[in-house]
Structure 1
């Protein structure tokens, strides 16, 4: 080997070592941020939600207070800089000059927490994604050798953050690929594998439990036609969610005085929470509740009206939460909608058609199906929901239904809240 070749080989080895080291750092920091935000949100959301159920007038106070605090934080602490959600990440990966500024780490973390614990009907997932992507973006700027790995390091942060939230390193990797990168390079594989390994190792050390404690033992071939129906309905519901978000964001953007947005959004949110407390925050408490109590229920008129009302209102209150200044996205709302849709369909079929299907299976599959259709990332949805439940029994039907829901949604409306551009006709 000549001297030039040896120098080149040594340089590549140094780059590889530095990439591994920075990926370890990104993975650890992103996982720590994701876990901290997750735990803080769970803790305070439970406290505030309990207080609101005991004192219903707090359903009026909490949304206006939370949105107001977020507004003043943006105004004075973050210098009037808007948070655009995952679109900021797309803009950064598609531009060599545009980076994610470091203030987005505290901005999205704090605002995501405040939005959810004070009743905003969304989740912390998108806040976590942008904050952890910023960790990767900041790291890529620190040394010249990382300049060419901008997308890979941003994806490493995102993958670690998703892993921390949903206890699924495969979901983290797939989300980084399906939603953010859409390409695989050697640097992507190295950096993302290292980051999610660190994140998953941290979960193991802390002995993190699955978000939903469910016992799924089997599924039946006779349910396949009903699974197909669920996939189609999930695709339709995801389009309704997407269109609601886009519609209300465009309408609220026309309101020039920002505090009017807060007052209008808080009014709608307060009334909705008063009627349907299940819409409070991420809604995971409501999902766990129906897992525990409703799985063997008969569909009554009251129950049907409640479920239909929730399915109609959830996309609206999520959209208004975001349009009036809240921080979040469609991850948690998609899981919430899918769970209630799956349960409603299964109870309807069992009650009126004696289908004898398992409601819990339909809830879990519905969660994956609506998420798949909402973000056009079926494989992310599959492993994310399996990670949430720590159960892969339903892997095959989830795969089939997620593909059906995604292509149903794309056929009706080809864009998501991530890919829509106001410059394009809809």
Structure 2
């Protein structure tokens, strides 16, 4: 009798062990697939956007008439695609991913082409935002669709969505650590064994694909060193970055709220187009993602002499960028606050460094302030300091400024949280009722 029980217990244990092994193998295989598809989508969207944005930006530089034509054309095409191709549904950005991970609701597969196409059209026709959020939602959808394919994956819904997101962020910013940290800090906020396995595999595949394609860092800058005497000014930069990020967040929430009251969508398109056209005409730096403008000021930062005109231009850009970004999104554009945060941080850092050098003879290094500013505003905008650190270090492929970036990102995040506790991702009207 005891022998029979012992044999049965052994068989049960063996069956459980085999079942766990099968689940592990399937999780590995699906993570590889998600990693490849998400990375391929992210790299494709980035390359296509860079290519066409450069062409169209050159066209508007040669013929200013396109400043009027491009925004209204881009927003109109996106509207008609949503009406007649993508089930008449608005894209809600990363909030869609939150809804999916917290409820039984799944991300429908049409979100992949919807965010891919609409994100691309928004940016290349001048919409003052970036493709990062479009990539995040599209790659999250890849993970969501994968989890529905087999019953064994049902319990790993959040993990597989995060794997897609992590691979997509890795593809955009060449930083696997930033990919995993974003998935953890912003989406999941908890770590399980399945999360580690699926996300590590997905970002490894994504980074491997980047290596094969020999992707270069987005910003090729030379960072020599940083000095302890600059720490008080770094702290000041962190506080200013926190304030600027709150301004960006409140602008997005305010304009989305106001535009939601406009019943006819074409009025939204017309208002958005007019604001975009006028802003881009006077400040071409606001066109699209704005990475061309960041590269431009990186190249001239060491020779920048602050004049009244230049100072006012920088201030106008810092005031206008959140407004133009918000109106781009509120009038139907697809995107988020990633690229705008990096843009604002770069200009804020250069402005502060220029003021310190011109009026106080401090002799700080402008390029350091630009890089730290980029990370600080992003950290405060999405409340994810460690994502911002590794993401910006990945963008420059340089970790020289790791320590000051860490300090400033924490300062900017907690400054922003003290002033306003929500981000564009976490805010909901019900929270303030």
TM-score range, shorter chain: over 0.9
Kept after mapping to 1: 8 A contact 2:178/2:391: yes
Distance 1:375 1:295 in 2: 30
Q: Does 1:193 align with 2:178?
A: no
The equivalent of 2:331 in structure 1 is 324
The CA deviation at 1:424 is 2.1
Which of residues 33, 38, 50 is equivalent to 2:46?
A: 38
Which of residues 12, 31, 40 is equivalent to 1:23?
A: 31
The equivalent of 1:363 in structure 2 is 370
Normalization by structure 2: what TM-score? 0.98
CA deviations on 1:94-131 (whole Å, 9 max, x unpaired) are 01x20000000000000000000000000000000000
Normalization by structure 1: what TM-score? 0.99
Kept after mapping to 2: 8 A contact 1:45/1:118: yes
Q: Does 1:71 align with 2:83?
A: no
Distance 1:262 1:294 in 2: 36
Q: Does 1:127 align with 2:124?
A: no
Kept after mapping to 2: 8 A contact 1:86/1:130: yes
Kept after mapping to 1: 8 A contact 2:177/2:390: yes
CA deviations on 1:131-180 (whole Å, 9 max, x unpaired) are 00000000000000000000000000000000000000000000000000
Superposition CA RMSD, Å: 0.7
Which of residues 11, 16, 19 is equivalent to 2:19?
A: 11
Trace 1:20-419 onto structure 2 (pairs within 5 A): 20-95=28-103, 97-419=104-426
The number of equivalent residue pairs is: 425
The CA deviation at 1:82 is 1.2
Kept after mapping to 2: 8 A contact 1:296/1:359: no
Distance 1:56 1:368 in 2: 33
DSSP-derived class of the 1:294 partner: helix
CA deviations on 1:307-350 (whole Å, 9 max, x unpaired) are 00000000000000000000000000000000000000000000
The equivalent of 2:5 in structure 1 is none
Distance 1:306 1:47 in 2: 25
Kept after mapping to 1: 8 A contact 2:301/2:367: no
Distance 1:301 1:68 in 2: 39
The CA deviation at 1:422 is 1.5
The CA deviation at 1:252 is 0.2
Kept after mapping to 1: 8 A contact 2:285/2:293: yes
Distance 1:297 1:335 in 2: 20
Distance 2:301 2:67 in 1: 25
Kept after mapping to 1: 8 A contact 2:342/2:375: yes
- Which aligned segments of 4 or more residues in structure 1 are displaced greater than 3 angstroms? none
The CA deviation at 1:295 is 2.8
Kept after mapping to 1: 8 A contact 2:242/2:416: yes
Name stretches of at least 5 consecutive residues in structure 2 with no aligned partner: 1-8
Larger Cα-atom Rg? 2
The CA deviation at 1:188 is 0.1
The CA deviation at 1:81 is 1.1
